[in-house]
Amino acid sequence: MGIALGISAVPNFRDVGGYKTVDGLTVARGLVYRSGVFNPMCTEAIAQLASVGLKNVYDLRTASERKLKPDQMPHVAHRAHLNVLADSKTAAAVNLEALLVEPKKANAALGDGRIEAQFIEGYREFIALPSARESYRVLFTSLSDSRKLPAVFHCTGGKDRTGWASAALLTLLGVIRETVMEDFLRNNEYAFPQFKGVIDHFAASGGDRNIPLVTFGVKAEYLEASFDEMEKRYGEIEAYFSEGLDIDSATQNRLRHLFLEAK
């Protein structure tokens, strides 16, 4: 379930499928993947990725993130740039890594729970921002077309914008909230070993260890904030898709038909 494909350059590249639904069906594997940024990628990693046979890549990052770390990937049929945070006034969460080179400055700006508050606000923006609604509308509508699969959606860390995309899709497909949360929190299994050196160096230089742990990891309250915002605005997941994302019931049913199998 949520199997990682073992590409060391992108340890959080994993299959969204494999989870059971409340109806006893299984989310199909090999159709859609989630990931962090594909940079840096060595020749071996690119070859491993090529074996997946991706047809579409949905990049949820800002333009500045894409410019700083452009994807290094094999040829795919189509790439879509879906800037979830285009309408955010701060987009602070995507710039946090830059502060990690200045521990004292980071402590002053992000200590005492401020970094957690930024992430919680960011997760609410995934529901509230017009740019987020449009980006997720394009993503999920595209994923309902079997001709565009297999595909991958990703951001920089593969945990926040990507985390909500995966959580929303799995919830629509009928995976229970507890399992969706477990999938979300699995990010930490891949992120903390990958960034252990950065975290240790930051702490050894006088930085609050919690800051990089929060920057590279996830907490349950973040995803809970997205679900809370969704429920306040729309109620159920189907209404979020239909009213928030303008994805009609026919398209929602195509997603279910495509991604669910008896197993």
C-alpha Rg value of the chain to the nearest Å: 18
Range of the domain at 129: 14-262
> Is the backbone of residue 126 left (phi > 0), alpha (psi -120 to 50) or beta?
alpha
Number of structural domains in the chain = 1
Of 13-27, 140-154, 189-203, 237-251, minimum mean pLDDT range: 189-203
* pLDDT-based confidence at residue 94 (cuts at 50, 70, 90): low
In a domain, 93, yes or no: yes
Which of helix, strand or coil describes residue 35?
Answer: strand
Q: What's the whole-number average pLDDT of the chain?
A: 91
pLDDT digits (tens, 9 = 90+) for 33-52: 999 999 999 999 999 999 99
Residue 104 confidence (pLDDT): 82
CA atoms within 13 A on the CB side of 175: 28
In a domain, 7, yes or no: no
pLDDT digits (tens, 9 = 90+) for 104-132: 888 887 877 788 888 999 999 999 999 99
In a domain, 2, yes or no: no
What percentage of the chain reaches a pLDDT higher than 70?
Answer: 95
Strand-pair category, 32-35 with 14-15: antiparallel
DSSP state of 254: H
In a domain, 104, yes or no: yes
Encoded tokens for 159: 């945990």
